[in-house]
Chain A
Amino acid sequence: MNKMKKKNRISGSIRFLLIILILYLIVFLFSISVAKEAFLNFLIMFVKIIPILGMVFLIMMLTNLFFTTERIKKHLGEESGWKGWIYAMIAGIIISGPPYILFPLLGELRKGGMKNSLMAVFLYNRNVKIQFLPVMVYYFGLNFTLILSLYIIIFSIFNGQIIGWFLRDRLQGRSSSEE
């Protein structure tokens, strides 16, 4: 049963890729230049992220190696308390990287017992990117930047609370195979 499930999951990933390739084929039929430009941009982007993927692979392996289930549960799990929220906020602000890099990493932590609410807090605080703030100040001014950043941090807490409540509520209500 588990093996069957695994097989389906793998074929689902490949199915998704096939759908996108078919989409490219359709675009190609209508406009060769658009499909070509998009594909070339993809190649450039992909080559650029290969070293990052290598680093992610290493970090994921180290996470699997050192972040034991007990440790994750203690600092980011059900028993982490308010400290867990602070850790998730700070980590979200400090750690940068595109979602396709961060989702697999969070996925590993999730398997180890990281709370849904803290994952949400982490992801929301990604929007306060200290290294990009000067650009925001340049375009929109200091007040806008400070106020927006403050609201993001405040709303990350609401975000975590609502998602935590929603998913826990669901787990209590029904047994879930997805979670």
Chain B
Amino acid sequence: MEMVSRKTILKKSLLKTLQSFKMSLPIMIGILLLINLINIVAKGHYSKLFTGNLVLDPLIGALAGSLSFGIPITSYIVGGELLREGVSLLAIAAFIMSWTTVGLTMLPLEAKFLGRRFAVIRNILNFFFAIIISVLVVLTLSFFK
């Protein structure tokens, strides 16, 4: 009797997981396709985006990070290279922050699993937080100099 009920529970959870996967696979594939397209177009063009303006650059950095996608380490490497090219730390901090916290390309997937409103509010909030945190980090760092 207990064996049957365990089997039923296992079957139920397997079916539930299969259903979730079936629903998310086309979006996952679509997003991966989109990310690779964006990455190729954006590759090598990041430094051209920045103007040297201390007010505009964090905004541009946050926007560029929001549209980009990849593991955090990639944003550190890109950010490090930008820093060497003379882009302000303020812009780079915003870029790094929004790279992982804001995901415009991932929005459909996030909305599907966590709710549309959750995804939209979270991404908007994180965009502004990326700018606020970058300002705070640079300000705090200035106390250590």
Contact = CB atoms under 8 A, between A and B. Distances in A.
A132 to B, nearest CB: 5
Contacts of A178: 115-117
B126 A159 contact: yes
Interface in A90-114: 98-100, 103-104, 106-108, 110
Given A34-B40, A103-B109, A140-B80, A155 B133 contact: yes
A65 B13 contact: yes
Contact of A127 (B12, B21, B100): B100
A147 B141 contact: yes
Contacts of B25: 13
B14 interface: yes
Contacts of A88: none
Interface of A is mostly: helix
Contact of A148 (B36, B115, B137): B137
A179 to B, nearest CB: 6
Interface residues of B, number: 67
A136 interface: yes
Given A38-B40, A120-B122, A124-B101, A170 B117 contact: yes
Interface range on chain A (Cβ under 8 Å from partner): 35 or more
A10 interface: yes
Given A13-B26, A140-B79, A148-B133, A103 B114 contact: yes
A42 B9 contact: no
Contact of B118 (A10, A24, A119): A119
A34 B36 CA distance: 10
A139 B17 contact: no
Contact of A108 (B20, B76, B116, B136): B20
B26 A136 contact: no
6 contacts: A10-B23, A35-B37, A42-B36, A132-B72, A139-B80, A148-B93
Interface of A: 9-10, 13-14, 16-17, 19-21, 23-24, 27, 34-35, 37-39, 41-42, 45-46, 49, 57, 60-61, 64-65, 98-100, 103-104, 106-108, 110, 116, 119-120, 123-124, 126-127, 129, 132, 135-136, 138-140, 143-144, 147-148, 151-152, 155, 158-159, 162-163, 166-167, 170, 178-179
